[in-house]
Amino acid sequence: MKKVIIGLSVTATLFMTNIHANDKGKGIFESKGCVICHKKAMDTIGPSLATIAASYAGREATIIDYLKGDAEPIVDPSRKAVMNPQLAKLETLFDDEIKALAEYIISANDIAAKR
Nearest distance in Å: CB 24, ligand HEC: 13
Nearest distance in Å: CB 113, ligand HEC: 18
* Rounded-to-integer distance, Cα 28 and Cα 40, Å: 15
Cβ atoms < 10 Å from Cβ of 4: 8
* Rounded-to-integer distance, Cα 66 and Cα 15, Å: 28
Closest alpha carbon to 55 in 36, 38, 33: 38
Q: Which residue is nearest to ligand HEC (CB)?
A: 34
The residue range among 1-9, 19-27, 83-91, 107-115 that interacts with ligand HEC, by the rule CB under 6 A, is 83-91
Residue closer to ligand HEC by CB (options 9, 84) is 84
Restricted to residues 14-43, the positions that interact with ligand HEC (CB under 6 A) are 32-34, 36-38
